[in-house]
Amino acid sequence: MPDAHPKHPAIPASAGVGLKPVHYETILSERPDIGWFEVHAENYMGAGGPPHRYLEKIRASYPLSIHGVGLSLGGDEPPDADHMARLCRLVDRYEPGLVSEHLAWSRHDGGFLNDLLPIPYTKERLARLCEHVDRLQSALNRKVAIENPSTYVAFDAEDMRETDFLSALTQRTGCGLLLDVNNVYVSAVNHGWDAATYIAAFPMGSVAEIHLAGHASDTDDFGAPLLIDAHDRAVADPVWRLFKDVLTRTGPRPTLIEWDNDVPEWPVLYDEAVRANALLAEAASTDMKAMSHAG
């Protein structure tokens, strides 16, 4: 698959935030110094109305990324043709710099579930997922980035680790990856494995975008820690530390602050982006020093 067409403005290797209706007016009146915005595709699949009027104005001033949540790429069935056609029209309309989707399923036997459900990491499931990703990239005529999940259960019958599964997916389809650092930390705590070890094994060369988000803390029925990928609060300190580790391996990448629930006032969200930008600038400086010494 080709990279983004030149008419699709590139997403800068800086911090962006998820675009929320509560912030439309603030963004248009204040024109904040933010690198880019990301929207959930399904929120803009109608033909018109206020969402599009605002998005068109904001898109005229900022690069845009489109993040899908409903294609069910990990399911048994091929992506819904009507849903994919709506996504294609949205991408054609706004020419985003990045398009991404989830490593999950949410549709079965004609019914839709309001969740992103996990898949087993098996050779059979990998083959099916590759078919679906190929179909999506062919329809869009561009690469997409697939996001690693946050998980709460594990399957007994699996052929490979998640990182190996994602690596194989990129090799077979040419797709990119969206590395959600919060999802890594949530899954690590829930399953009792080491997040840093996962990051060391992740196919970093395929990372097109990074997500940061907040999580809620709970306990399971046995009293063990249980984290929920809630997207309703600030990024936790362990996730910031893991993000710094990621940047030592990738260098600066477009980094999104995800805050989808209990959305705060604009200054709170903007401060999270400022913190991410400080770490991105530090990573860029480290890269420049390393190149200078190498020269």
What pLDDT, on the 0 to 100 scale, is given for residue 156? 84
Tell which residue, 45, 38, 46, 42, has the closest CA to residue 62: 38
Cβ atoms within 10 A of the Cβ of 134, count?
15
Longest Cα–Cα distance of the chain, Å, equals 58
What pLDDT, on the 0 to 100 scale, is given for residue 292? 54
pLDDT category, 3, cuts 50, 70, 90? very low
Residue listed under structure tokens 């898949």: 119
Mean pLDDT for all residues in the chain: 92
> Any idea which of 95-99, 132-136, 190-194, 286-290 has the lowest mean pLDDT?
286-290
pLDDT of 106 > 90? The answer is no
Helices (H), the chain: 24-30, 50-59, 81-94, 123-140, 162-173, 181-191, 195-201, 237-250, 266-294
> Exposed, middle or buried, 203 (CB in 10 Å: 0-12/13-18/19+)?
middle
Give the rounded distance of the alpha carbon of 120 from its chain centre.
20
What pLDDT, on the 0 to 100 scale, is given for residue 294? 58
Residue listed under structure tokens 């991404």: 100
Mean of the pLDDT values across residues 4-33? 88
pLDDT of 2 > 50? The answer is no
Amino acid 29 reads S
Amino acid 157 reads A
Distances (CA, A) of 189 to 185, 218, 227, 282: 6, 11, 7, 28
What pLDDT, on the 0 to 100 scale, is given for residue 138? 98
Q: Is 214 helix (H, G, I), strand (E, B) or coil?
A: coil
Under a CB-based contact definition with an 8 Å cutoff, are residues 228 and 215 in contact?
A: yes
pLDDT category, 51, cuts 50, 70, 90? very high
Q: Which residue has the higher pLDDT, 26 or 119?
A: 26
What percentage of the chain reaches a pLDDT higher than 70?
Answer: 91
Distances (CA, A) of 179 to 57, 67, 223, 224, 266: 29, 13, 29, 26, 25
Q: Which residues pair with 258 in a beta bridge?
A: 213
Amino acid 139 reads A
pLDDT tens-digit readout, 229-252: 999 999 999 999 999 999 999 999
pLDDT category, 10, cuts 50, 70, 90? confident
Under a CB-based contact definition with an 8 Å cutoff, are residues 251 and 284 in contact?
A: yes
